Structure 1
Amino acid sequence: MRADAQKNYDRLLSVARDVVAEQGADASLRDVARKADVGLGTLYRHFPTREALLEALLRTDVDQLTTQAADLEKSSAPEEALLAWLRGVVALTHEYRGATTLLTAALEDADSALHAACVGLHDAGTRLLDRAQAANVARTDIDGTDLFALVASLAWIYDQPSLALRADHLFDVVSSAVLPGQVGSGVN
């Protein structure tokens, strides 16, 4: 990539991170381009779809969570590992308000720019859940897809201004249902 194109790409990602944090996943791409001081055509050359832009924004964070899950598998008790992963994924989906719908849909859509990242995140959570179930500290009547759905529902709760004061409590309720006897500490 040419130096000027790389500069535009980096600038678009930086600005998009701020705009999406402020406006959510449905943020105006026109606002992103304007605030990055590039034309809309430049934005679309780098990111042909909203999903492609969100994938680029999420990729680093999702990769970190997937790597963290592998590290937690080796270094933490099963319930602590699963709770830390759950807390991290909910925080990520809350940071990118509205991305939960895209992430959930992308899990089943192999053509989605977000598919590989979502599958990796889902598989990491499934491994942690399986490990906790094998240690008899997690419910055995749920699977990785159920866990992913619970993450989506928790992210939705955190995104609702009218429920914001209850979100940490509800995180604790859900996490203690997945890991009976455990009390989470919210997402913050």
Structure 2
Amino acid sequence: MPDRQRADARRNYARILAVAEQEVAAHGANASLEQIARTAGVGSATVRRHFPTRRALLEAVSAERIEALGARARELAGGEDSRAALLGWLGELVAYCVTARGLAAALSYDGAEPDPVHENSCSAAMEEAAGPLLHRAARDGAVAADVTVSDLVTLAVGIVLATEHHPDPAARADRLFRLAVAGLSPRD
């Protein structure tokens, strides 16, 4: 019987995640957990058992995208121009967040104490991926030494969330990102 329960739990998880991906794509980070449960054919308690917080659900929905961004950071790390590599990755993060509704919310730093049961794994993955890009750019003097990955991710998230309801969110986010980039470089 325990094997059957584990198989049922795995099926429920997969079904909930598939429905959640559709709902987040349609409604963003505020997708209804109750609607996800109904569409998946499970109770709200089952959704909460698998995803104890909204952030946990958003992180699961965003996992593949986060991995792709991490892989891209690793690709760019070997480039000649450390500033171009960092800003290229950050621009891709902004563009990805614009098209992947819910990703910005999954990456956001809410300022609360980290939850030991469920820390923000998306942000932790971005810290790990972008760290080498940022350190190299700072070492080369291409970015101010006090800039952190957290600063960069927060900047990207802020731009994406601020442009989410704009008629052309991608163009607006790109414009704001380009404006912000000028402030990232150290002043002579």
| TM-score category of the 2 structures, normalised to the smaller one | 0.7 to 0.9
Q: 1:112 to 1:83 in 2, by over 3 A?
A: farther
The aligned residue for residue 103 of structure 1 is 108
* Paired amino acid for 2:87: L
Q: 1:15-164 counterparts in 2 under 5 A?
A: 15-75=19-79, 77-94=81-98, 95-97=100-102, 99-100=104-105, 103-105=108-110, 109-111=114-116, 113-161=118-166, 164=169
1:4 Cα deviation from its structure 2 partner: 3.5
Q: Percent identity?
A: 34
Deviations 1:57-84 (A, max 9, x none): 1233223322321222124631232123
Is 2:104–2:161's contact at 8 Å kept on the other side of the alignment?
no
Deviations 1:97-151 (A, max 9, x none): 4843763127851526242331231243232122122223334453333222211
TM superposition score normalised by structure 2 = 0.77
* Paired amino acid for 2:176: L
Q: What is the aligned residue count?
A: 180
TM superposition score normalised by structure 1 = 0.77
Which secondary structure does the structure 2 equivalent of 1:104 belong to? coil
Is 2:127–2:149's contact at 8 Å kept on the other side of the alignment?
yes
- Give unmatched runs, 5+ long, in structure 2: none
Is 2:130–2:149's contact at 8 Å kept on the other side of the alignment?
yes
